[in-house]
Structure 1
Amino acid sequence: MDRPIFLVGFMGSGKTTWGKKLASALEVPFIDMDHLIVEKIGMSIPEYFKAHGEDAFRELEQAVMKEQEGRAGIISTGGGTPCFFDNMDWLLDHGTVLYLNHSAKSLWKRLSQSDVNKRPALKGFTGEQLLAFIEEKLQERAPYYNRAHIHVDQINTSLAELLNIVKDYHQTHEKKD
């Protein structure tokens, strides 16, 4: 695998968890863009959001994304990464984009069980407000996420099935090149 696989999807969709599993199974590196950003700025993403705002964060996120050019492996992006600037075009041109798809309700269940304070976009949302926010954001982001090369129903797909999907895609894609 000489081109990276970029994982995209809403926050809480399992990009980090599945990215690590996929990388291990394929014996390639796993790279988490959020961790790279935190290392680069020396503070948490919520702290950076508070100090500099979302626009500055999105510019930083794009710069870190473009620093991944030429790297092989599984790269987990932030939930909003493909939705800003020309990021989705860049991802599609520089690797295979895999969308970990979830329903709003499944994301709501997963995010309700996590610490929403670690996620700047969710701060202050609970219960039905959180579900409504997720539904709205998913609808806004669908045109970006849906452009991915591969779409996977993350809830109903096993690691073995995911590996087969990725391998089949790459075999088909390599034949076209």
Structure 2
Amino acid sequence: MIRIFLTGYMGAGKTTLGKAFARELNIPFIDLDWYIEERLHKSIRELFIERGEASFRELERTMLHEVAEFENVIISTGGGTPCFFDNMEYMNEHGQTVFLDVHPDVLFRRLRVATQQRPILQGKTDEELRIFIIEALEKRAPHYGKARYRFDAGQLESRRQIADSVQQLRNLLSI
């Protein structure tokens, strides 16, 4: 039985690598944020606004526990998921956890072009975005560091790099 949780900051490549890895293993891929949106018929942004962060994080934990019961699956978590409650410990108990580690400069480059899709980043200057990323990574490092595996996901820019990363991840997890 395969159950893999991909964690990491926004822009780390959890969805990109997760989808490609799931295709390689011929198993389903679940993005936890998408799962929540489908279940509640609202965007993550709407849920955050309506419920506030504390209530959203409780909902996220409930949905994490739900998808953690699925078998033969790759699950991409939200960037903050490992940082609340006992979520990281729970994922470690229920599957293999992989922290997609990406240098802040690479995250900046990836997120700079996606600021319109990510409300939390809108309106930030380049310098503000760099500082935002670095500070968030520092706060989250203790949580991300609890993952069983650390994987350099800095090379996901082309199909070749994604395919190479899938093979490296497969080797790392001995699958």
Give the match for residue 71 of structure 1. 70
- Size of the aligned set, in residue pairs, is 166
Distance 1:145 1:166 in 2: 17
User: Does 1:61 pair with 2:68?
Assistant: no
Which runs of structure 2 are paired with 1:1-177 in the superposition (5 Å)? 2-72=1-71, 73-114=73-114, 116-156=115-155, 158-167=165-174
Distance 1:31 1:129 in 2: 32
What is the CA deviation profile of residues 108-153 of structure 1, one whole-angstrom value per residue up to 9, with x for unaligned ones? 1100011x24334324323110110110000000011111111111
What TM-score comes out, normalization by structure 2 length? 0.89
Distance 1:15 1:138 in 2: 15
Distance 1:141 1:120 in 2: 20
Percent of residue pairs bearing the same amino acid type: 45
Distance 1:117 1:61 in 2: 23
Contact map agreement 1:3 1:94 (CA 8 A) in 2: no
Q: Residues 41 and 126 (structure 1 numbering): CA distance in 2 closer, same or farther, change over 3 Å? A: farther
Q: Residues 126 and 51 (structure 1 numbering): CA distance in 2 closer, same or farther, change over 3 Å? A: farther
What is the CA deviation profile of residues 23-68 of structure 1, one whole-angstrom value per residue up to 9, with x for unaligned ones? 1111111111111110122111112212221111111111100002
Distance 2:50 2:32 in 1: 20
Q: Residues 106 and 19 (structure 1 numbering): CA distance in 2 closer, same or farther, change over 3 Å? A: same
What TM-score comes out, normalization by structure 1 length? 0.88
Give the match for residue 174 of structure 1. none
TM-aligned CA deviation for residue 69 of structure 1: 2.8
Q: Which amino acid in the other structure matches residue 86 of structure 1?
A: D
- For the residue of structure 1 that corresponds to 2:154, the secondary structure is helix
TM-aligned CA deviation for residue 20 of structure 1: 0.5
Q: Which amino acid in the other structure matches residue 82 of structure 1?
A: P
Contact map agreement 2:68 2:91 (CA 8 A) in 1: no
Distance 1:121 1:62 in 2: 21
Give the match for residue 175 of structure 1. none
Distance 1:80 1:8 in 2: 9
Gaps of 5+ in 2: 156-163
Distance 2:116 2:52 in 1: 16
